[in-house]
Structure 1
Amino acid sequence: MPTSSPTADQQDNNDNLLAITINLPTMADKRRTWDMDSTLSSSISISRPADSHPDTPESTAKQWQSCSSETPDKQEDSEHANPFFEHDDDDVDTNSIALIRKSDPHSGGVYLILDVSQTRALTCHQGQVRLEPISLDNKHVSMQAQWICAERNGFKGFKNVAGGGFLGHDLWWDFCAKAPWLSLWESFTIDRRESGLYWIKILHWWTQWQVSARNDGSGVWAEREKGTLWEFVKVLSLGEGI
């Protein structure tokens, strides 16, 4: 049977169809696309309401809490810090270190923090702080009793050597040493008193409260006045400069 040749219009349509078919992406052509709905939902979920009032006690408390949980330091430090890990070797031989009484705490130094009224050291066990009797004449110094001094924005922080967590408080003002970064609730100021001793203070809203040792040794708490007098004893490795 004779076949008719395609007309000029049919030939043009076939060429266009061929061109379209060639340009269509195949299943192997994997391309990344944006999910606009999920993107908008994510943006909305983290946005702060425009009508929230920043001066109410409730909103201020939420902002204060967020300051301690969302900081640039958290992103940098949390990848490497493990506040619940404690070194197996919890004693340091004092034959290789020196203890400097009534020291002034500076960033990078390691210190014992003593309640001089009862000769007790502030220690940390699995993130929980307590006061334990100590004798500086003993052969060993527990790593749970050693704190690394840090500074940020004019405040000081104290990181436990054994546990790796910063001393601070939670929403209910219970003190512990679990935070892997230094933020608002882990920030202290120190006030030098007589005989080389210190008050340790923490910001309580717009006033400075004093950190005091509990009589039963179960930890510390914040009070407006009549706080504990603390002594910082620097732990100095032999060969290290004062």
Structure 2
Amino acid sequence: KSSVPWPGNNYIIRSAISGQVLTLIEGQVVLAPPGGKGSIHWACVQTKGWLGFKNTVSGRFLGHGKHGNLICSAGKHQSWENFCVRMTPDGDYILLMTHFERLWHVGTKNDKGKEKLAKIGERMEEAIIWEFIKV
């Protein structure tokens, strides 16, 4: 069962379907099996009402780059690192990121033959369903 993401707590952020976890590995944000190399703990913070997730090892914030792919490079929680976390009827969560005046779901997209985590648009069917495991 997922915990409620709340500022001041640390989480492992896991795909409810695949069981893979949001991992920072060699500077890249990927879904990877738990127990491998890479950093999987994310501190939940709040700035101007928006949630943000800071990798506890790198001290950098999860966000998106100019093409919408997820990155973890910002030293401050600013607009490209803002998340809206919405509960699903099953008690899991979807992650949404700002795209101009819209909120886009976080999911995967094909980028040059590789699956990349990214903000992908408004279609909920394509969103990854997440669990937040408090650590």
TM-score in terms of structure 2 length = 0.86
**Which residue pairs with 2:82 in the alignment?**
187
**Which residue pairs with 1:220 in the alignment?**
117
Shift of 1:163: 1.6
Give 4+ residue runs of structure 1 displaced > 2 Å after superposition.
140-143, 213-219
**Taking CA–CA contacts closer than 8 Å with sequence separation of 6 or more, which of the two structures ends up with the larger relative contact order?**
2
Aligned residues: 130
Identity over aligned residues, as a percent?
Answer: 30
Change (3 A) 1:217 1:147: farther
d(CA) in 1 for partners of 2:128, 2:99: 17
d(CA) in 2 for partners of 1:198, 1:132: 18
Shift of 1:128: 1.3
RMSD of the alignment, in Å? 2.1
Matched residue type, 1:155: W
Aligned 8 A contact 2:6 2:44 in 1: yes
> Quick one: which of 115, 131, 155 aligns to 2:15?
115
Structure with the bigger percentage of helix: 1
d(CA) in 2 for partners of 1:128, 1:107: 24
Aligned 8 A contact 2:25 2:37 in 1: no
**Structure 1: runs of 5 or more not aligned:** 1-100, 135-139, 236-242
Structure with the bigger percentage of strand: 2
Choose 214-223 or 125-134, whichever is displaced more.
214-223
Matched residue type, 1:154: G
* SS of 2:39 mapped into structure 1: helix
Shift of 1:218: 4.8
d(CA) in 1 for partners of 2:72, 2:79: 14
